[in-house]
């Protein structure tokens, strides 16, 4: 990586708009840790409770677990759950990603926690939500977005739905929704309100991300078929084209002035098929000619050709290329992680309380003794928990 890419901080983050808040994160995978990462990135002290069997090991999710403190406790053991409650007693918020009812069976449910700390914000991350006929069932991102219409809407008109990584359910409609909900509830507490439970379901969140598409559908300006609409690849001037070298460019020439710059830049301004951007009868012919045009030169040729123009043509960068892009480097969109690899930097930006540079993900259980002592447990009790395998 370039020397101007920031490197990880040596200690846990301080500063940021959420500085002074303490969050206890009860293990979990994917969207829950992503929510914890967002909160930690913005300055909250996030204490992650991991399993003792993993104690002493590096985190297997070095980006999602960055900026944390780590305590290793067996939450299935009554003493482990009690120790976790002592940590929660000192926290502003707790988040968990268990299936409905699991936290309650562990003695760590919201009723128990809120009774001990009424101003606590209790964030819950699930796929189907805390209620409803599917609530107890397992699932993954692809299942949640399938049930909300999102998966059906993504893909080519003549093909099957395309899996959009696990971005919509797990992260956009899951972890980010939970973080937003928890910050909203914390704001209410700061204004004198009581603590409460935040029920973040990936089905709800992925449906919410489809708000504009559902609005268009209700207006009759969106077809309930993929690959035939303005923003789903149906429009030839909003899509992806293969270049001579096998790379791709992305076109986003929606507005008339941007469309005109695209057509002019390709030397197609006098072509009758491009005279009316909204003439869907001409879209197949437009697509064929755009396909041929971009296939005639390499991706980097087109990147340079349209640089500085309003045609909305950008290269489709790989994950290895994106951190090296001049714009991304200038903004610090990526940073160098603890292992020397690129990772996304904290976002968004704050003018008065900038987010700190995240600390590296901790060794699992690295903060067990210190944080349990701070929560009021004696050294003898902590030693006993270690001997019994309850703490790591």
Distances in Å between the Cα of 235 and the Cα atoms of 28, 173, 266, 285, 313 are 40, 26, 17, 11, 15
In 3-state terms, what secondary structure has residue 79?
helix
Concerning whether 170 is annotated as a catalytic residue, the answer is: yes
**In residues, how long is the chain?**
392
Question: Cα(71)–Cα(149) distance, rounded to whole angstroms?
Answer: 39
Q: Which of 50, 92, 141, 170 is catalytic?
A: 170
Q: Is 90 exposed, middle or buried (0-12, 13-18, 19+ CB in 10 A)?
A: middle
Question: How many C-beta neighbours within 10 Å does residue 61 have?
Answer: 14
Residues 6+ positions from 25 with CB-CB distance below 8 Å = 32, 33, 36, 46, 47, 48, 49, 68, 94, 95, 96
* Cα–Cα distance, 259 to 62 (Å, whole number): 42
CA distance 41 to 361: 12
**What sections of 24-175 are H helices per DSSP?**
31-41, 78-88, 102-105, 110-116, 141-146
Is 140 designated active site? yes
Residue 261's H or E segment, with its range, is helix 256-265
Bridge partner list, 123: 95, 198
Sheet holding 238-242, edge to edge: 238-242, 248-252, 313-315
Residues taking part in catalysis:
140, 170
């Amino acid at each position: 990586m370039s020397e101007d890419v920031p490197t990880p901080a040596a200690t846990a983050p301080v500063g940021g708009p959420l500085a002074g808040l303490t969050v206890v994160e009860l293990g979990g995978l994917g969207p829950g840790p992503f929510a914890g990462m967002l909160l930690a990135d913005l300055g909250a002290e996030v204490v992650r409770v991991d399993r003792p069997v993993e104690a002493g090991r590096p985190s297997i999710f070095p980006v999602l677990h960055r900026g944390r403190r780590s305590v290793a406790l067996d939450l299935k053991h009554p003493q482990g759950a009690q120790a976790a409650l002592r940590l929660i007693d000192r926290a502003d918020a707790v988040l968990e990603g268990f299936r409905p009812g699991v936290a309650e069976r562990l003695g760590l449910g919201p009723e128990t926690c809120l009774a001990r700390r009424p101003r606590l914000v209790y964030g819950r991350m699930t796929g189907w939500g805390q209620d409803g006929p599917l609530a107890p069932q397992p699932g993954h991102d692809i299942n949640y977005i399938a049930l909300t219409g999102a998966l059906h809407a993504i893909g080519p008109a003549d093909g099957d739905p395309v899996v959009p990584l696990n971005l919509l359910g797990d992260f956009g409609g899951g972890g980010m929704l939970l973080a937003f909900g928890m910050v909203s509830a914390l704001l209410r507490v700061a204004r004198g309100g009581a603590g409460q439970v935040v029920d973040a379901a990936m089905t709800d969140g992925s449906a919410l991300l489809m708000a504009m598409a559902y609005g268009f559908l209700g207006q009759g300006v969106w077809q309930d078929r993929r690959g035939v609409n303005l923003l789903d690849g149906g429009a030839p001037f909003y899509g992806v084209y293969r270049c001579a070298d096998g790379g791709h460019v992305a076109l986003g020439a929606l507005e008339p002035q941007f469309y005109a710059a695209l057509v002019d830049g390709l030397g197609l301004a006098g072509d009758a098929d491009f005279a009316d951007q909204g003439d869907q009868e001409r879209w197949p012919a437009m697509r064929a000619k755009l396909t041929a045009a971009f296939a005639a030169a390499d991706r980097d040729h087109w990147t340079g050709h349209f640089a500085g123009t309003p045609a909305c043509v950008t290269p489709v960068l790989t994950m290895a290329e994106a951190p090296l892009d001049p714009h991304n480097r200038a903004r610090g969109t990526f940073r160098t992680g603890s292992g020397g690899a690129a990772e996304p930097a904290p976002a968004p930006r704050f003018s008065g309380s900038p987010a700190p540079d995240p600390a590296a993900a901790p060794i699992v259980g690295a903060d067990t003794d210190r944080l349990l002592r701070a929560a009021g447990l004696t050294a003898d009790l902590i030693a006993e928990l270690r001997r019994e395998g309850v703490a790591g």
